[in-house]
Amino acid sequence: MAKRNTFSEDEIYDEKFDINQVKRLFHYVKPYRTQIALIAILMLSSSGLSMLIPTFFMKVMDDCIPMGMAGMKPILGYVAAILLITVYGMISLKLKIRYMSRIGQNIVHEIRSDIFNHLQELPFSYYDERPHGKIQVRVVNYVNNLSDLLSNGIINTITDLCNLFFIVGFMIAINGKLTLLCMCGLPVLVFVVVLIKRKQHKSWQIQSNKQSNLNAYIAESINGVRVTQSFVREEENIDIFNGLSRSYRKAWMRAVRYNFLMSPMVDIISNITTAFIYVLGIQWMFQPDSGITVGVLVAFTAYISRFWNPINTLASFYNSLLTAISYLERIFETIDEPVDVKDREDAVPMPPIRGEVEFQDVTFSYEPGVEILQHVNLTFSYEDGVEILKKVSFKAKKGQTVAIVGPTGAGKSTIVNLISRFYDVDSGKVLIDGIDISGVTLKSLRSQMGIMMQDSFIFSGTIMDNIRYGNQDATDEEVIEAAKVVCAHDFIMEMENGYQTAVNERGSRLSAGQRQLISFARALLACPNILIMDEATSSIDTETEILLQKGLNRLLEGRTSFIIAHRLSTIKNADEILYVDKGGIVERGNHEELMAKRGEYYRLQMAQKS
């Protein structure tokens, strides 16, 4: 995916028709090849039998009708055969729809699962670089657009291709001269397909870009609706939305215009060919030894209609395929996105963590163009891949509480993100208990950590579910005890259903402080060996913070803890305070030592008191 940070910029795409995308799609189809083959055989038998019907009409007109009443018995036989063929066709069609719909939806589910599973593994940097709406549209809309192709397109293409051979065989058997006349329209159709193929593919790529932009803006607008209404930006946002929607509509109309060229061209060629066959066929019918009778002409025109119907269906499939490829490019691009932060081949499980953390000459920079959301919702863009940390070294002993302070954008959150290995360092090492964390499995590392961020994310569900999120094995009693320790129990019990109260996505029913208290309870319940609190008390009022301090002391007890805080009153009791600025640690020491130095930390304290 192109690294775009706004909804107004199109993603980069490859203009070439890439058949490899189709080959990859058939990797998902392969497990169902036996079922598809059986359905294809069923449909081919139905189609093959239906091909006999025009021949029956020819026999009735040329042989039975001239016999008078004596021809009624064979006519009734043909009618019975036609009825049986029709019933068999109906049953075959019903089975095809049922089983191919199931197969198609299974494949759609597998593709969507692969994307979602891969998204779970991608590092923070992937999400830092991209609007989330453009990611979401790939998981939902683009995969959904493959549904019809998989449910109907594959089997229809197989049967229609075979039908063409059946039809041509019957037509040649009836009259070779008329068959050649029917084929004259095919070169024209091939010329049209070649002419519009590239423009059609490009138009669908543009359409997918515009759909992605629109979806990105809708997602952003929904997430930011409170800010929008606070600053009375509704009209401006509607104008932006309408502009994006018009661009999408224009791209869609251009794309379907090329699609709709195919079907009329097939109809025009079919009608012209049929007209020529009627004109020439009737003239040849009166010629001796032409072999053309009224029955032959009627049967042949019926086969002409059947000949062009599968071609029309194949043209529609070709349109669907071109459309699907524009979506497949985006889908497989997401699946192919490299997982920069992953387990090495020789990675081993992290032993039980004691809690000693050490940075050895750590240097780190975000990729060029990455935008990182820092505290207070400010956005900083590192266009040239600026180094955020430069040869940073420090050591936290087991059970110590380390506070990290400094100006916004100095790299405080980066330090704690590197401890959890949400990013990999450019150079240097991050050691826990003397073990380089780049050599251990991510699951074994992160499962022993507790992380609380300023934006305490609350999932849709009950309060009980949200607290238990980090420890699914915890009992209800353990959940309640954790909530009591962090002073969340009282406000939870005041809600209509207590711990079973349902909360909305992102916890919109809860105040920011309540969300953070739930986050504290979640972290306590997980019993982490290393605790990281990134502005975790920023939304808690002073009175609640005083009540919470006892719970915090219990939470920090026996654990190595890293606390990022702008409110310096929360870190005075830290064993060591690191003042981070300009890519490094400018000052370090406890509160009394740093105040005595009268340096950056001292000035920060004085600024907050004034």
Q: Which two tokens stand for residue 305?
A: 């209609």
Cα–Cα distance for residue pair 399/406, rounded to 1 Å: 23
Residue segments in the chain with a per-residue pLDDT below the cut of 70: 1-18, 197, 201, 226, 230-231, 290, 367-385, 454-455, 505-508, 536-551, 554, 566-570, 609-610
Cα–Cα distance for residue pair 548/48, rounded to 1 Å: 79
Using DSSP's 3-state secondary structure scheme, residue 372 falls into strand
**What is the torsional sign of CA 316, 318, 319, 325?**
positive
Write the DSSP string, 242-264.
HHHHHHHHHHHHHHHHHHHHHHH
For position 230, what pLDDT does the model report?
66
Count of positions (residues) in the chain = 610
Question: The whole model's pTM is what?
Answer: 0.68
Query: Strand pairing of 435-436 and 449-452?
Result: unpaired
For position 447, what pLDDT does the model report?
85
Residue 427, φ and ψ in degrees, nearest 5: -155, 165
For position 10, what pLDDT does the model report?
54
Query: Strand pairing of 427-432 and 435-436?
Result: antiparallel
- H or E stretch including 54? helix 52-59
402: which strand partners? Answer: 562, 576
For position 432, what pLDDT does the model report?
94
Look at residues 254, 217, 255 and name the one whose alpha carbon lies nearest to residue 233.
217
